[in-house]
Amino acid sequence: MAKRDLILLALDDERALKSIQDALQTVSYETTNASDRTILKKIIKETIPALVIIEEQFDGIPGIKSAGEILERFPAMPIFIYSEQESFVLYKDVIQAGLSGCLYPPLRNEDITSAVERGLNRARLLGDWLRREVKRTTASLKRRAKLTKSELNRYQIIFANIQDGVVILDEEERILLINKGMEVAFELSGKDLRGKLFSTVIDHPDVSSLLNRGQSLPLKYHTINFDDGRTYNAQYTPIGGIGSVITMQEISNLKQLDRLKNEFVNTISHDLRSPLTAVLGYTDLLNRVGSLNEQQLEFLNKIRLSMDSITALVNDLLDMSRLEAGFDTRREHLKLENILKIAQATVEPQLKLKDMELHTSIGKKLPELNGNPIRIRQVLDNLLANAVKYSPEGSTIRVSLKSEDNQIIFSVSDEGAGIPLSEQPRVFEKFYRASNVSKKVGGSGLGLAIVKSVVDWHQGRVWVESKLGEGSTFFVVLPTYNSTRNKTLNKLKK
Ligand code: ADP
């Protein structure tokens, strides 16, 4: 006969103990007795019985309390309370405590064994159910873990094969992940770069300045040039809690196209200039070779005005392509106040035509600039000409020139049309003309692009503050001669 379950008996009443023991042993259950609470605890700990029967008061402590302690460790353990007397109150307490039931005298064998069978059966069912649940949950967790792993694999393959260069850095700028695109760009293939400082792996001045700019500026578009002619556009994006991501797209072909387009524009503008000069010359000569009637004179005037604007456009195009090609690299010591005087004289006739005034405020002892006089003059000319062009008759233009922290700050304010807020960042783009004036006032949309190009080339900044219908102020900040010189010296020292 197979060995039956072990039943633990914790009863002070010896007669009851014997009856229960005999009844259970007759049907081949194994029994063990606990003579006090200490032994009860020891048996529970060491043998884990299949069922427990405790007397209502065992070793001076209520049996329900001892039962509660057992359930804390083994919540599915079937426990019966033996009491000398049948009591409804006790039965209620037993059920409330989550125990299996009560046993009372007279203790007939079949009552004892059937109660024990019931208790054990229930515990078995509960055990089976628990095992099934654990199995089910584990299987589902395993499935999920497997899914995450395969997903991770997929992401890694996608990341590795992105054409653009991508590198993810931690907060100390150590490489967390780097893809093939980035390795190819910097010729790093085959090395394990994870955990290394990005700046030590990639020693490139454009990358260093991207990292420096990335930490201080919100917008981080940046060009990275290689000696072999490749050009990349790079973005630096900080990611809270991780570090940052740098992405790079190769734009060498776009740069090449841009170069071709500039060459084309340059050639066309050059070729247009000579016939234009001829047309202008002959229109001037026309009324000298014979008298013209009033209508002919009017038409001639119209031709001249149109020719003027075509000439201005061609000149702007030529200037722009010269700037983009990097000509005019000559630099010298300049006094901006002197250039301003010349620009002021140039704009004087237009001011008079519109009955406008120009007020200047020039700081004392302004430091010199290190710049190209022709190009700087062009900046002032363009800003002043725009201020006049986009302002109403009789209004005032204010020009200010001062120095602050190794910088010269030049500003032109007008009381003109202003620029819609959403279009303000775009007015420095080539050919962009703001919607509020583009149909009323003529222009090429190149003047401010030239200004920006010149200012950038001088390591300066230009921006506009404007209110629609109230006026605009253009600011130009240029580094002084000493500050540019110090920077160059520092670079050489490095
Ligand atoms: P253009 O004057 O030939 O159109 P610019 O490049 O000089 O080209 O200027 C670009 C645009 O910026 C102008 O078309 C105009 O919409 C706006 N703009 C420039 N200066 C002013 C100004 N002082 N007041 C209002 N709008 C201006």
Which amino acid is residue 217, in one-letter code?
L
Residues 92 and 59 in one domain: yes
152, part of any domain: no
To test ligand 1's pocket by mutation, which of 433, 451, 453, 454 has the most ligand atoms within 8 angstroms of CB?
433
The pLDDT value recorded for residue 270 is 85
The pLDDT value recorded for residue 489 is 47
The pLDDT value recorded for residue 216 is 63
The pLDDT value recorded for residue 486 is 54
CA distance 113 to 457: 101
The pLDDT value recorded for residue 1 is 44
Q: What distance in angstroms lies between residue 439's CA and the mean position of ligand 1's atoms?
A: 12
Question: Can you give the CATH number for the domain in which 433 is found?
Answer: 3.30.565.10
Residues 481 and 336 in one domain: yes
Residues 112 and 223 in one domain: no
The pLDDT value recorded for residue 405 is 84
Residues 310 and 338 in one domain: no
CA distance 406 to 130: 78
Question: Where among 250, 281, 315 does a domain terminate?
Answer: 250
pLDDT tens profile 364-376:
989 999 899 999 9
Counting Cα atoms < 13 Å in the Cβ hemisphere of 252 gives 9
Residues 267 and 241 in one domain: no
167, part of any domain: yes
Residues 46 and 94 in one domain: yes
Residue numbers of the domain that contains 238? 161-250
Residues 288 and 343 in one domain: no
207, part of any domain: yes
Residues 313 and 343 in one domain: no
The pLDDT value recorded for residue 451 is 95
State which ligand 1 atom lies nearest to the alpha carbon of 474: 23
CA distance 65 to 41: 13
Q: What distance in angstroms lies between residue 445's CA and the mean position of ligand 1's atoms?
A: 7
155, part of any domain: no
379, part of any domain: yes
147, part of any domain: no
Q: Which uninterrupted H or E stretch holds 333? A: strand 332-334
The pLDDT value recorded for residue 3 is 54
Residues 201 and 312 in one domain: no
Question: Where among 186, 217, 250 does a domain terminate?
Answer: 250
Ligand 1 pocket check for 83: Cβ under 6 Å: no
Question: Can you give the CATH number for the domain in which 319 is found?
Answer: 1.10.287
Residues 319 and 336 in one domain: no
pTM, two decimal places: 0.56
The pLDDT value recorded for residue 494 is 43
Ligand 1 pocket check for 447: Cβ under 6 Å: yes
The pLDDT value recorded for residue 490 is 52
Residues 461 and 364 in one domain: yes
The pLDDT value recorded for residue 484 is 56
Question: Can you give the CATH number for the domain in which 32 is found?
Answer: 3.40.50.2300
Instruction: For residue 279, give the nearest of 326, 314, 236 by alpha carbon.
Output: 314
Ligand 1 pocket check for 378: Cβ under 6 Å: no
Ligand 1 pocket check for 383: Cβ under 6 Å: no
Instruction: Return the residue whose CA atom lies nearest to atom 23 of ligand 1.
Output: 387
CA distance 387 to 451: 14
Question: Can you give the CATH number for the domain in which 204 is found?
Answer: 3.30.450.20
Cα 373 to chain centroid distance, Å, stands at: 41
458, part of any domain: yes
Question: Where among 114, 130, 146 does a domain terminate?
Answer: 130
The pLDDT value recorded for residue 204 is 87
Residues 318 and 269 in one domain: yes
State which ligand 1 atom lies nearest to the alpha carbon of 418: 25
CA distance 245 to 242: 9
Ligand 1 pocket check for 451: Cβ under 6 Å: no
* Number of independent structural domains in the chain: 4
State which ligand 1 atom lies nearest to the alpha carbon of 412: 23
3-state secondary structure of 458: coil
153, part of any domain: no
Low-confidence ranges of the chain (pLDDT < 50): 1, 488-489, 491-494
